[in-house]
Structure 1
Amino acid sequence: MSQTLDPATPTAAAAATDVPKQKRPKSREGNIRTPAWLYGVMAAGLVLVVLPFVWMVVSSFKPESEVMSVPPTWWPESVTTENYSQLFSRMDFPTYFTNSAIIAVTVAAGNMVFCSMLGYALAKLEFPGKKIVFGLVLGTLMVPGVVTFIPLFVLTTNIGLANSLPGMILPFIAGPFGVFLMRQYILSLPDELIQAARVDGAGELRIFFSIILPLCWPALATLGVLTFLTSWNNFLWPLVIATSEEKYTLPVALALYAVGQNATKYGLLLAGSVVVVVPVLVVFLVLQRRIMQGVAMTGIK
């Protein structure tokens, strides 16, 4: 008969010490070291990205003669705010800024609501032709915007929306990219939440606004910032639709006032570019955490 060793006896303690200890596998993450040259490459890329913006801000405080000087100067020899004074005095800046803000905010809000609705339908609802509709959404992503520009302009003009803010907003109130983004994100939400709400008697609108939308804030923030940025910087469509100065947006007014037939006022153009970029940077800095979560969880690279 085999004898069991009592852990309290010296023989059992000696036998326990004779057992070879198993080596724990080393974590691969601890052995990975980032090479120094990679930091150099990333630092060079950062400089290449940031340098044009720094040059734009610094040069906006230079007089026109210094902006055009050869060789160019990095820091302004004589700091001036004349470019900003001309920007706010010669241009009806509050009107242009208000038009751009109304269009960008409305387009962003419309995409967040309507793209989420269609994304929810394509992700969680079952209806005939669902795959065909999703295929059409993906197909429109491959169509360049220039192809639909003239038909869209003719349609907008025929329904009487030319030279109006609704004419600049409605054609972009929902886009295929937003539908695809929200559909991919909503697919990751558990079906049990929707089924539980239906058992409790909630309708689809109640489920969408009370359950789906609160869980989609990362993707909504990403979609909102991207559409806000695109609408804020949109130049060609407002240039064609707006026929009077009171309907101009900031990019259109800046291009018409700073770029003339005989000469271009680069100092004024740089100052206007700074003013146009600042709201976008503020929106991105406020929502950057949500943007990163939405991009990571949706799988959009």
Structure 2
Amino acid sequence: MTLSATRPPAVAPDGDEPHGIPDRRKARRTPRRVSRVLIGLALAVFAVIFAYPFVWLISASFKPRGQVFDNRLIPETFTWENYVRVWQEAPLALWLLNTLVVTVLAAVAVTISSAMVAWGFAYFRFRGRNALFGLVLATMMLPGAVTMIPTFLIWNSLGLVGTLVPMWAQNLFASAFYVFLLRQFMLGLPRDLFDAARVDGATQWGVFWRIALPLSRPAIAVTLVFEVQAVWTDLMRALIYLRDASTFTIPRGLKSLVDAFGFGGEWHWEIIVTASVIATIPMIIIFFLGQRQIIQGISAGGLKG
């Protein structure tokens, strides 16, 4: 019984590819190109939708009072007066300084405290670890309104209501969400590296501070940026704890401007939109500077988790 050899595909005399293969490749590439074009168009449409409110806000900040709501992206009457007047009508520089202080303290506090808790759950092996970690995650299901009054009573008993301390000191006790994020990242770190450091005489704190924390830089960056955004735009706690205009943060200050110049006030909306632009610019700068770290941290955490 003879075996018939497999016949090679037909090849053109000049050594070109077999007949029909280029046509099949073109047929496969055409749907891919169409899908890419459709995805690009969809992304462009969504980009315009999400960017339009901010573009409108910037445009309105350069308009006089009577043209703020004319819906023109290019102002008919261009003026810089709003950016001069807003600093005169409100202590905007002081509000920015208060917000900067609160944001830095809150972001650093929650990042370090959450990293310490996450390191404990990721590195140490002890009885009931998973149950305790599940209990920590369960706190994420509690609405903020449930703990709002008890937390206020604690700060009021300490005599700190009306100061900036309650705006950031709560972050000294970590955040369940950031603990989960950092723990998932730290679980992917090489444990042999930490054991080798312990053999060389490093303390538990030294292993965490000098090895684990630097290796977790992408996740740390994500935590910092997320918390900076959350604190910078936090209006609820500012309404609860801040009483005097000298302690206002940017969200609380904007609320006072809306009360004074917006609804029920003098109807100077050009002042409000201008202050909103000034308050938004720092967040845009931070996200532009940290976008690479954010992408790396989220992708690495997803792969290692």
Say whether the fold is shared (TM-score over 0.5).
yes
Paired letter, 2:275: G
The RMSD of aligned alpha carbons is 2.3
Q: 1:79-94, aligned counterparts within 5 Å?
A: 79-94=78-93
| Unpaired segments ≥5 residues, structure 2 | 1-5, 10-16, 18-23
CA-to-aligned-CA distance 1:216-235 (integer Å, 9 cap, x gap) = 11111101000000000001
Count of matched residue pairs: 277
Return the offset for 1:74.
2.5
CA-to-aligned-CA distance 1:174-193 (integer Å, 9 cap, x gap) = 21111111011101101111
1:290 to 288, 293, 299: 293
| Equivalent-residue separation in structure 2 for 1:162 and 1:184 (angstroms) | 36
Q: Counterpart in 2 of 1:204?
A: 204
Q: Counterpart in 2 of 1:12?
A: none
Q: Counterpart in 1 of 2:118?
A: 119
Residues 239 and 248 in structure 1, CA contact (< 8 A), matched pair in contact too: no
Residues 239 and 252 in structure 2, CA contact (< 8 A), matched pair in contact too: yes
Paired letter, 1:65: G
TM-score (norm 1): 0.86
Return the offset for 1:20.
5.6
Residues 55 and 73 in structure 2, CA contact (< 8 A), matched pair in contact too: no
Residues 258 and 265 in structure 1, CA contact (< 8 A), matched pair in contact too: no
Q: Counterpart in 2 of 1:251?
A: 251
Return the offset for 1:172.
3.0
| Equivalent-residue separation in structure 2 for 1:154 and 1:228 (angstroms) | 26
Partner secondary structure for residue 128 of structure 1: coil
Identity of aligned residues (%): 31
Paired letter, 1:243: R
Q: Counterpart in 1 of 2:40?
A: 39
Q: 1:182-261, aligned counterparts within 5 Å?
A: 182-260=182-260
Return the offset for 1:212.
0.4
CA-to-aligned-CA distance 1:77-107 (integer Å, 9 cap, x gap) = 1111222222211211221111100101111
Return the offset for 1:19.
9.6
CA-to-aligned-CA distance 1:54-73 (integer Å, 9 cap, x gap) = 1111111111110134xx32
CA-to-aligned-CA distance 1:154-207 (integer Å, 9 cap, x gap) = 111112211112121112342111111101110110111111111111111000
Residues 106 and 167 in structure 2, CA contact (< 8 A), matched pair in contact too: no
Q: Counterpart in 2 of 1:101?
A: 100
Paired letter, 1:183: R
Paired letter, 1:255: K
Paired letter, 2:53: P
| Unpaired segments ≥5 residues, structure 1 | 1-17
Residues 259 and 265 in structure 1, CA contact (< 8 A), matched pair in contact too: no
TM-score (norm 2): 0.85
Q: Are residues 83 and 258 of structure 1, via their aligned partners in 2, closer, same or farther at CA, if it must alter by over 3 Å?
A: farther
Q: Counterpart in 2 of 1:57?
A: 58
